[in-house]
Structure 1
Amino acid sequence: MVRARWVSWLLGFGLLAACDQAPRVQRAVDDCEAELVALKVEVLSADGTRIRGATVTGTNVASNISITGVTDGQGVSTAINESLAPSPVRVVATAGSKVSPAHQVEWLCDSCNCQPEPATLELRLNP
């Protein structure tokens, strides 16, 4: 009985040691980026001052799905991304009672990602 245990232990350790020499499978490298491509939106007041805390909304024209973000200390938001592509996206900024005119952004897509055209959008709030 004791020998049977030792044999099973030796067999188990032998199999465990053999695992280090197991063949390795190379995974295919994905050339596509893992992060979503974002549109850079700069929000400015009527006199050109960057607005912190402005709300930026991008709405897909075809599906009416939208993404909303808030500008940082430099008046920039990158919340709107390629998840709204490939249809055109209408972008608007608001801060309090001030609203910017709507701008349309097109997305140019390849097999991996979609790029916004233009890549940076400057929105000025109405006075």
Structure 2
Amino acid sequence: MKQKLAFKLVFLIAIGFSSCKNKNALPDPLEAGWKGNAVCEVLEDNKELRVLKCTFEPGVGHEKHYHNPHVGYTLVGGKFRITDHTGTREVNVPTGYTFSKDSITSHEVLNIGETTSVYLIMEYK
């Protein structure tokens, strides 16, 4: 009887610890790609920050994924179709544009322009 009780207690503690972790069914921006191909590469990864460089040729997107809190910078702008919790919209993202989110977000994007667009994503850990 004590053995069963101890097993149940360990099991419940394990469930409690696992529920504290960020559970997201979506891939992160590095894991997500486009039709099986990577669109982001790691430029820096340390205990405080991960920096990604994401490149989107015309007709290339980024499958639905989540972002931890981050700051982004547009190295080369372009025209995108973005789908997120607010719906779908088309935006022209200018070169030199900076953006940030202080919470976990998710979206899907598609480069609908005629030029390659490049972004830096700096994620806090």
TM-score for both structures, normalised by structure 1: 0.32
Identify, as 1 or 2, the structure richer in strand. Answer: 2
User: More relative contact order in 1 or in 2 (CA 8 Å, sep 6+)?
Assistant: 2
Normalising by structure 2, report the TM-score.
0.32
**Rg comparison, structure with higher value:** 1
